[in-house]
Every structure is written in C-alpha cells, then in structure tokens.
Structure 1
Amino acid sequence: MFKNLSRRVALAGVMAIALSTSALADSPPAMGLGQSWPNTVDVSPNPGWHAYVFMLGGVKYVQINDINGNVLGAVGTVNGQFITLPIGRFSQLVATPQEPAASPTTATPVASPSTVYQDTTTTVTATPLSNGTVLLNAMACDPIECNNGRQ
C-alpha cells in the first residue's frame, strides 16, 4: 500500500512540474490552475463569478471560482469532448455532455443557471442549489450560436 501511495505522490509531482513548464511554452504566462487567484485574466461575462482559461497541449482547461475566489470546479475540453478535473469544492457536481455529475444531489435550484463562461466552442453554467452547493454544467457550444462568445 505504501508503495502505491509513493508512486501516486511521485506521479502527481511529475504532472505538476509538467503542467507548470508546459503551460509556459503553450500559452501566454497563465499559471495557477486550481488556485483561488491564478495568474491569468478573469474571462467570466458574469460579475458574480470568475472564470479562468488555461491551455496545455491543445486542451483548454476552464476553472470556475465564486466571487470570493473559492475554486468550485474545472473541466478540460477539446473538440467537443470534456473531462471533469478533480479540483474545487464542488468538483463532484460538475456535469459534462459525456458524464453527469459524479455525486447526484437531491438539492433543488434556488436560481436559474447563469452563464459563467462562454467562448466560440464552450459554455459553462452555474446553478446555486438549496443546500449551498453549486452545480456546474459544461457543454459544447455551436459556433454559430456562440459567435459572440469570448476566447
């Protein structure tokens, strides 16, 4: 068991180093995926939320934070395919076209979904729930419908 844990820790360290060095090579100096206030521009069209985009190896990573900088969740996306990243307070409540939220909830929405990120290919909405959590929904966006989106 200790051997497996050591391998996982080593792999996590290698991935962190690879992410930080590759991110510098693939895009402008945007660092800090998983941080409350990453070193990149907030691209959310909604003043009640923060959205940060990171590019690495052709994959776009979108992180959503609340107004106080709390990381709520993040997805990786390329060519209409999505993966939920295991970061953020509500990472278990991130839904994508490929997968529903990992932890179903009986909480009910207390507000309509708000668009917290949108570009020409991707939209992310946030829905506050009755138990204080937030459901994030990432989806592919038709380029014609989203031609006014950000990138």
Structure 2
Amino acid sequence: MIRKSAVALFSSALLVAGLATSAMATDTPSSGLGQSWPNATDVSANPHWHVYVFEKDGIRYVQVNDLNGGVHGAIATAGGQVLVLPIGKDSQNVSTATATSGTTSSQTVYSDSQVTISATPLSTGATQLTVSTCTGDPFECNTHVN
C-alpha cells in the first residue's frame, strides 16, 4: 500500500516537473551566462558570432561568443542603462557609446530596441565590442548604428 502511494507521488512529481520545464523552455533563460555553449537560443545578427540573451529580475544579459564557443564579453542592460560585465577574454575591450556609425571593419552581432553590439577585430588579435545605446527615437538610432 505504501509502495503504490510512493510510486503515485513520484509519478505526480515528475509530471509537474515536466510541465514546469516545458513552460520555462519558451521563456528567455535565466541561467547559463558565462558558458561556452549555454542552453539558450543563438540570436546573433552575424553568422560569424554566437549571441545569447538571458533575463532575470528585469535585467537583460547579452553574451557574445565566437564560433568555437569562446566567450568574448557580456553586458547587462535595463532601463536604458548598460553595465559591462567582467566575463570573457575581451571583457576589457567592451565599451559603451551613443549611437554612431561604426568603422568599416565592425560587424553588428546583436541588436534589439535598446542596444546594438558591434565587433571590430583589433591588430592585436583581440576584438573590440562596442555597445551602442539608443536614447532617442528608435528608428533614428537604428539608422546610425552599423
């Protein structure tokens, strides 16, 4: 009798866990930041990069990886503010700017309604990641960012 109750309870717990997992699968993940291959959708705007977005407590985290999974840098953004995170081999080369035209060698790797991230190869072999924020009309900002 106790065995049947325990099996029924365990089965119910698995069903609830399965439903919770499938509900979470459609949301932006809240964990995995800093990993080479996080369990998140690649939202890169450029085929030469992988970009992953995480959200937690109203803060959006954007991580930029190379094609081999190497983490180059990450930011946190909320309410029009950007914070460069100390994550990735190029974290010291992540800078913020207002929306301006990029250099000819820069590549847009990510863009949403609040930020655009561009990658520019440096002569040292490192990569400069530039985060442009939009403080005015989104259309105006999007037309000036590479």
**Shared fold, TM over 0.5:** yes
Matches within 5 A, 1:9-88: 27-29=27-29, 31-88=31-88
Q: Distance in 2 between matches of 1:55 and 1:48?
A: 24
Gaps of 5+ in 2: 1-23
Residue 53 to residue 131, structure 1, CA distance change in 2 (3 Å) = same
Counterpart residue type for residue 54 of structure 1: F
Contact 1:44 1:116 survives alignment (8 Å): yes
Matches within 5 A, 1:93-132: 93-97=93-97, 112-132=105-125
Q: Distance in 2 between matches of 1:82 and 1:30?
A: 18
2:118 is the counterpart of 1:137:
no
Query: Post-superposition shift, 1:31?
Result: 2.9
Q: TM-score, normalised by structure 1?
A: 0.67
Query: Post-superposition shift, 1:52?
Result: 0.5
Q: Distance in 1 between matches of 2:104 and 2:71?
A: 20
Instruction: Give a deviation string over 1:25-53, Cα, whole Å, max 9, x none.
Output: xx444531000010000000100001100
Counterpart residue type for residue 116 of structure 1: V
Structure 2 residue matching 1:144: 3-state secondary structure: helix
Query: Post-superposition shift, 1:111?
Result: 6.2
Residue 146 to residue 54, structure 1, CA distance change in 2 (3 Å) = farther
Gaps of 5+ in 1: 1-23, 99-109
**Structure index of larger Rg:** 2
Instruction: Give a deviation string over 1:58-111, Cα, whole Å, max 9, x none.
Output: 11100000111100000001122111111100101100139xxxxxxxxxxx96
Contact 2:44 2:109 survives alignment (8 Å): yes
Instruction: Give a deviation string over 1:123-145, Cα, whole Å, max 9, x none.
Output: 00000111100000112135224
Runs of 4+ in 1 over 6 A off after TM superposition: none
Counterpart residue type for residue 56 of structure 1: K
| RMSD, aligned α-carbons | 2.4
Contact 1:120 1:146 survives alignment (8 Å): no
Q: Distance in 1 between matches of 2:29 and 2:126?
A: 31
Q: TM-score, normalised by structure 2?
A: 0.69
